[in-house]
Structure 1
Amino acid sequence: MDVVNQLVAGGQFRVVKEPLGFIKILEWLFSIFAFATCGSYSGEFTLSIDCVNKTESKRNIKVDFEYPFKLHQEYFEAPTCRGAGATTKVFLVGDYSSCAEFFVTIAVFAFLYSLGALVTYIFLQNKYRENNKGPMIDCIVTAVFAFLWLVSSSAWAKGLSDIKLATDAELIKEQIPACQNTENRCQEVRDPVMSGLNTSVAFGFLNCIIWLGNLWFVFKETGWTAPFMKYPPPAQEKQPAPDTYAPQGQGYAQQDSYGQQGGYQPDYYGQQPEYNQQGYSQGGYSQQGVPTSFSNQM
């Protein structure tokens, strides 16, 4: 208990709260569900054969089949309805072990790998990130498993469809000699329960989606996205506004370039020359030829 508390206090279990570790836990759990629902399946269906001679009838014929679904090895005893209580062996049709075993094998290996990766995330994080080899290997293996989940789930879905067809009562009655006689009555009493196998197919495709989604989070850990990342340009510093005006009463603090070069520079705050009778006069402006005072008129 103290060891667990130390690990929690050290933050080593923090990775399970992150998408990388949390999705790995989902991969581990759903892999268990996938191979458990398929690998542990065992089903049966029941047939009834009523012969003309009622003493030869058999109304409770149980037919069992299970993983890995080698149906061609499964058989049941059916009455011939020809007297003397004779029976005949009737075999089911088809061998679907390849797709079922392939699906379960992928699920088991996915379970083992996700468990090992989760332990590495928690206890060997430094080794995992050393030289960036851990994320690269993890990314490649995750991509391979995502592809294998898709292939195995598709193959198993097709195999399950064939199993349902092979255990259909109409197809099986065609293989029973006694059912070829219209005077005898053959019927299926109970259908096999396929809900567990349907669930295994659903878990297979769900695992494919989970592993494919986790591929993105593992890919980001590799650093391969760095060359494709676009960083925003650095913010430019604002230039200070020019001090156009000096304190009040001192006129312009700075002159423009035109005034510095010796061009015309008006003196807005000083007195400007004014025209007199011959031109401008100092102190004010008067029109040419007009006396500036009353004494000039005398």
Structure 2
Amino acid sequence: MQTGFRLNLNPVKEPLGFVKVVEWLTAVFAFGTCGGYTGTNVLSIFCDGGGNETLSATFNYPFRLNQVLLVENNTTLCNRTVSETHLVGDSSSSVEFFVAVAVLAFLYAMVALLVYLGYMHVYRDSDFGPMLDFVVTAAFALLWLVCSSAWARGLQAMKDATSTAGIDLTLALCKERDVKCEVTEYASMRSLNISVVFGYVNLIIWAGNAWFVYKETRWHSQKVNAQHAAGRGPAPAPF
């Protein structure tokens, strides 16, 4: 059996290869829409005496909010001295897990495409290749489910922490009766919402692709052969 590289574009025209191209693209969109994000929320503080104060909180990937400074130490707001205050929360673990899965999925899809396009004759003549491909594809489907759910929860926690209600609980000044705090300008988190959507889209695509990869394994061929043998029934007894 020849094992050298042989360029063949036909696998891309089949579901097995075409879906891998889609997986490659959706993985790029998944980590591209949340990595490198930067946003700023503007907090307006309305004092009882009529004066207003404005604070801004800028947060970015990987969203360690507890390191984002909201108020510097000994800052005077509404005629009160306010101590150093940071935002509350840390969504770094969930978003970094999400990005790691997306990058690994991107790399695996690229390697799988290289195998399909140049070594499909080796891939289909061996048992190991299709079985490994199936196990890895199924594992990525599970990882997409876990990381997308974790990032969805982390994103919601970040939205809560940077909302008016969240900052009211964070900044002691906002709890005073004669002081009202309100987030008057929110950072657009559309790209972060899209990243979560792409996470679940990847889950569906990788889970569906597992079936096409499974059909290349000997597990599927053995099952089909067994069904054909059962359909033919026992051989007739000789006269």
* TM > 0.5: yes
Q: Hey, what's the Cα distance between the residues in 2 that align with 1:106 and 1:11?
A: 29
Q: Hey, what's the Cα distance between the residues in 2 that align with 1:176 and 1:228?
A: 64
CA distance 1:107–1:45, change in 2 (3 Å): same
Corresponding residue pairs, total: 222
Question: Which SS does the other structure have where 2:9 is aligned?
Answer: helix
Q: Report what 1:81 is aligned to.
A: 78
Which digits, 9 at most, give the CA deviation of each residue in 1:32-64, with x for residues without a partner? 011111212211110112334566x423x2211
Question: What does 1:165-176 correspond to in 2, within 5 Å?
Answer: 165-176=160-171
Question: Which SS does the other structure have where 2:34 is aligned?
Answer: helix
Structure 1 residue 198 displacement after superposition: 1.2
User: Retained in 1: the 8 A contact 2:164–2:181?
Assistant: no
User: Retained in 2: the 8 A contact 1:44–1:65?
Assistant: yes
Q: Report what 2:35 is aligned to.
A: 39
Q: Hey, what's the Cα distance between the residues in 1 that align with 2:44 and 2:194?
A: 29
Structure 2 residue 197 is matched with structure 1 residue 202:
yes
Q: 1:18 aligns with which of 14, 25, 28?
A: 14
Q: Report what 2:141 is aligned to.
A: 146
User: Retained in 1: the 8 A contact 2:141–2:203?
Assistant: yes
Question: Which SS does the other structure have where 2:42 is aligned?
Answer: strand
Q: Hey, what's the Cα distance between the residues in 1 that align with 2:222 and 2:125?
A: 20
Higher relative contact order (CA 8 A, sep 6+): 2
TM-score, normalised on structure 2? 0.85
Structure 1 residue 130 displacement after superposition: 3.7
Quick one: which amino acid aligns to residue 9 of structure 2?
F
- Computed over aligned residues only, the root mean square deviation of the Cα atoms, in angstroms, reads 2.2
Unpaired segments ≥5 residues, structure 1: 1-6, 235-298
Percent identity of the aligned residues?
A: 44
TM-score, normalised on structure 1? 0.69
Quick one: which amino acid aligns to residue 47 of structure 1?
L
Which digits, 9 at most, give the CA deviation of each residue in 1:139-183, with x for residues without a partner? 111111111111111111111111111111122023323323332
Unpaired segments ≥5 residues, structure 2: 234-239
Structure 2 residue 179 is matched with structure 1 residue 184:
yes
Q: 1:211 aligns with which of 196, 206, 209?
A: 206
Quick one: which amino acid aligns to residue 115 of structure 1?
M
Q: Hey, what's the Cα distance between the residues in 2 that align with 1:181 and 1:154?
A: 37
Q: Hey, what's the Cα distance between the residues in 2 that align with 1:36 and 1:92?
A: 25
